[in-house]
Structure 1
């Protein structure tokens, strides 16, 4: 058994305009378990205008010189570097009152988000400094006037104003999106746990893996920081809805139309399905999920379950089951192996939660908790302990408190409902939530609840016996999914995969002729100029192929034998291909070739059969059959390099490669387009003959 060690006084410092700024005097922070002083923080002496200028003029240009893939590689290297130092972060995490399990979500969850965004950027974004977005729009009949949207990095700084409950994850998940987009960050952590965020930033700076100026840190009060924001800057806020409302209307933010992204605490609901009985697996899943969300991080999660919606005839069974489950939870010093729940972040926070509990009791009664249980280590007075508490509101449709007041701690309120429409109504009364969950095995019930709750939620989890083993749970945001919600939850969003990256970029519509647009976007645009030479494009290495390289194939006339043979080989005897009478009466009025025969025939036209740099067909995308091809029609294919994606060598790989995306257009004897698609080929990259290294 271990106990929380006596901490030495920490002196966290701000990191701005390339230097560390520490102060001997400032706000004294205490640990959440014993109330002992652990750190002093202050922003005294920090020039906020200079910090923002440094980010814009030093960090921004350095990031924008890198491509998405280069930024992704730096982010992956940083994640690996931080993961090797995670135990240092776990040690400081205990001072915040969080258990190691709580810290795993914050520390390794945050570092894992860096890994996730590095991977998504390499898979989904081009190796460029800008992102062509969406399809090319044809604006004129002749095809000489086209347009496409382009995303470029904003030339400002993202100011992070973070909450105390996730000092690592909250910082790193915002950093990941901004960094991939090419935008520097200035982090302002909440004071209560700022020393943990500072330790991570100190290691990031020491690593030298990020360009200077791409990350700055301000400890202590924000001073006049918001007064110096400019039009290209952004604010990413996590915290209470009340604080978000005040900051959003800051005069300078309003005057300069500074984007303000809010992820606010919300009164998230979890619904036990009407069809679920106490003997069903879903009943036990519901009890465990609610209990976990009450006690994880001592209930200090913006995604925690605050309102538990339960069929009215199941209330007694739920109360009894929750009492048993929460009775197993041991409270105390989070460094002890036998403790499952630690403390709130501070005694001030405990007092705020207790005050909210008092207000909630005006319309609800305590059914679990309300008295001090045995404390396994820690100080009941100086520490910030609060036991798990469950209330019951008997008239939730007419009550206001449970739908408006959030006790940001180990507290939840049970709300009985009569039917599914009433459950949906209660869930909506939270006026916008980050997440809601539905526990049922009845698909009809799940559908009705999801569609009823969808307009007021950012994420919905349907939990049942089928997915319980793999489910990440009600309260776990994931990098691939939206984290945010409407109304009270902030009406903004974070993460959501690459959408979170795009949020940090400016979208501009570019109108031009096809050849000029292709030159700007570095992607071939149909109708633009192409380059043809005597060397077959499949005989060129990845390095030798250029966007716009093209091959126009020989012609081939489709015969009845082609159609019959393909039907026999493929087993596709659809009447439009093989039934003369049925085809005449059908859509095309004649027998037509299989669409997949056309693709196969086109491959025969453009493929260079001998071994060469092209190693494999990597995939086929955007296939459209435009016009039918019948017996006697003649086709040919134009194959044009659309774009190139360089691939890094993976461990154990010795043959460097890249992906070349080709645009294929099959036309008939009247030069009409009959089919169009994109082909991905894996192509070998060149090596230097002298030393075996890759060409630059």
Structure 2
């Protein structure tokens, strides 16, 4: 019997166990994972570390629940009721989830309730879809004999692998549609941020999900790779780095398993000449410092006409100067730390690369002098960046903004598309017709006018190396289904 873990307001009943087949069990090899706070650099929790044997057990449980259990044989409406019960079990634990995000990632306490609430919304959203989504359609056969059915059936056992930057929202966005579709799921959170998945597993237990429908395993790279390679996994839904995504795509391709990959980004904001630079600067500065720039879709490149380059740079510099970096629990803080020491080292390395390649460091670029502990760095602005510089081509995943000059709109589009990524983008203009023209020309999965916006009802995903497939909306549900055609006399 394990004792509850209390870290601030976070209460996990079985931190040193795994949730497999509806039971809390010990990890086979007894491994442990320490969870660090990026603001205090102290250990805030210790959880179980799954081995390859634990991954096998979780897949076996999910496989049995799918192949012979009741879950995929229920109607979508019946499954939606379980989603509502799961959401109800999560509701009183939203403050704990918010605290977990702050403690593990350094997210701002002032922002966390809204982000966590959006994550919980996925369960409500997909539960609502169940009553009207056409899981089965009747069609007239080409030869007009009898009738034809086109069915969407569950893809099978899903490995849901979430990253550390938004662990609850991204995991919820995977498992909610997967469960509604009739899949069984093995949750594998990032080792740096396991607490949210524990709370989800406890909520699933409280909601009475059948054994094996939702399982939790926490592990490092080798065990995670074993899960991805497992023949019993029908689909991998992964959000994370391009390097890991390439590995998963290769493995899934080798055994013709399905995968959805939401990978990196180097999103461009095109500022047209009719838009007020001061307004653009306010949005750009607040966007690149949101979650300390650790958002795959964040607007990290700004493209502006050459004759307005200096004006926009100065406006962004002034906005960045007002951003207060500090303790995530300080209500005055507008940006917290980076999530881990290796991430800060990576951002510092890219800042050094930008300077070596000849970009102009306008502001930031160092650790804040008033913060002696924690993985903090100043909001950083580079000007006179050229398209082939590494800070313009590679994902930094930190609060570093690069400003590039263009000759005209066509050149701006060319520069925006000169990237291995295509996840998100924005165009700043007062004319919606101009915005639509630019949006059609930029090769990216989502593009917004004048804001950094998302809509859960719309598909989200990337072009090029930003990934494969889509999440969100009905597209996110369909990603966990297979099409079956039935011909009846």
- Above 0.5 in TM-score? yes
* Alignment partner, residue 314 of structure 1: 308
**Greater CA drift, 143-152 or 208-217:** 143-152
Q: Alpha carbons of 1:25 and 1:175: their partners in 2 closer, same or farther (altered >3 Å)?
A: closer
How far apart in 1 are the matches of 2:367 and 2:343? 17
How far apart in 2 are the matches of 1:344 and 1:12? 26
Choose which of 458, 471, 474 in structure 2 pairs with 1:498: 474
How far apart in 2 are the matches of 1:246 and 1:53? 23
* Alignment partner, residue 122 of structure 2: 113
Contact 2:238 2:245 in 1 (8 A): yes
Pairwise CA distance, 1:174: 0.3
Q: Alpha carbons of 1:407 and 1:35: their partners in 2 closer, same or farther (altered >3 Å)?
A: same
Pairwise CA distance, 1:305: 0.9
* Alignment partner, residue 680 of structure 1: none
1:161 aligns with 2:161: yes
* Alignment partner, residue 561 of structure 1: none
Choose which of 16, 23, 35 in structure 2 pairs with 1:19: 23
* Alignment partner, residue 460 of structure 1: 447
1:174 aligns with 2:174: yes
Q: Superposition RMSD on alpha carbons, in Å?
A: 2.4
Pairwise CA distance, 1:277: 3.9
* Alignment partner, residue 228 of structure 1: 230
Give a deviation string over 1:74-131, Cα, whole Å, max 9, x none.
2123223212221122222221211124423541111012111111222334xxxxx2
How far apart in 2 are the matches of 1:219 and 1:312? 49
* Alignment partner, residue 52 of structure 1: 59
How far apart in 1 are the matches of 2:308 and 2:270? 12
1:355 aligns with 2:354: no
Contact 1:21 1:46 in 2 (8 A): no
**Greater CA drift, 177-186 or 51-60:** 51-60
Pairwise CA distance, 1:452: 0.8
Contact 2:58 2:216 in 1 (8 A): no
How far apart in 2 are the matches of 1:8 and 1:35? 20
Q: Alpha carbons of 1:208 and 1:267: their partners in 2 closer, same or farther (altered >3 Å)?
A: same
Q: Secondary structure at the match of 1:384?
A: coil
Q: Alpha carbons of 1:445 and 1:486: their partners in 2 closer, same or farther (altered >3 Å)?
A: same
Choose which of 79, 104, 118 in structure 1 pairs with 2:113: 104
* Alignment partner, residue 630 of structure 1: none
Contact 1:234 1:260 in 2 (8 A): yes
Contact 1:62 1:212 in 2 (8 A): no
Which structure's CA Rg is the greater one?
Answer: 1
Q: Secondary structure at the match of 1:193?
A: coil
Structure 2 gaps, min length 5: 1-6
Give a deviation string over 1:151-204, Cα, whole Å, max 9, x none.
1122x2110121100110011010111011000111111111112332332233
Relative to the length of structure 1, the TM-score reads 0.64
* Alignment partner, residue 480 of structure 1: 457
Contact 1:52 1:229 in 2 (8 A): no
Q: Alpha carbons of 1:6 and 1:187: their partners in 2 closer, same or farther (altered >3 Å)?
A: closer
Contact 1:89 1:200 in 2 (8 A): no
Give a deviation string over 1:519-576, Cα, whole Å, max 9, x none.
xxxxxxxxxxxxxxxxxxxxxxxxxxxxxxxxxxxxxxxxxxxxxxxxxxxxxxxxxx
* Alignment partner, residue 337 of structure 1: 331
Aligned pairs for 1:10-409 within 5 A: 11-22=15-26, 25-41=31-47, 42-44=49-51, 46-58=53-65, 61-96=69-104, 97-125=106-134, 131-133=135-137, 136-140=139-143, 143-154=144-155, 156-205=156-205, 207-221=206-220, 223=223, 224-230=226-232, 233-250=234-251, 253-278=252-277, 283-284=278-279, 286-361=280-355, 362-373=357-368, 375=370, 380-381=372-373, 383-396=374-387, 399-409=388-398
Pairwise CA distance, 1:145: 4.8
Pairwise CA distance, 1:407: 1.0
How far apart in 1 are the matches of 2:152 and 2:9? 51
How far apart in 1 are the matches of 2:215 and 2:102? 25
How far apart in 2 are the matches of 1:225 and 1:138? 41
Pairwise CA distance, 1:237: 0.8
Aligned pairs for 1:432-581 within 5 A: 432-453=421-442, 456-463=443-450, 473-474=451-452, 476-495=453-472, 497-513=473-489
Q: Secondary structure at the match of 1:393?
A: strand
Pairwise CA distance, 1:504: 1.2
Pairwise CA distance, 1:371: 3.8
Q: Secondary structure at the match of 1:33?
A: coil
Pairwise CA distance, 1:304: 0.7
Pairwise CA distance, 1:418: 1.5
What is the number of equivalent residue pairs in this alignment? Answer: 473
Contact 1:139 1:145 in 2 (8 A): no
Contact 1:79 1:115 in 2 (8 A): yes
How far apart in 2 are the matches of 1:437 and 1:20? 45
Contact 1:486 1:492 in 2 (8 A): no
How far apart in 2 are the matches of 1:44 and 1:511? 45
Contact 1:356 1:406 in 2 (8 A): no
How far apart in 2 are the matches of 1:416 and 1:199? 47
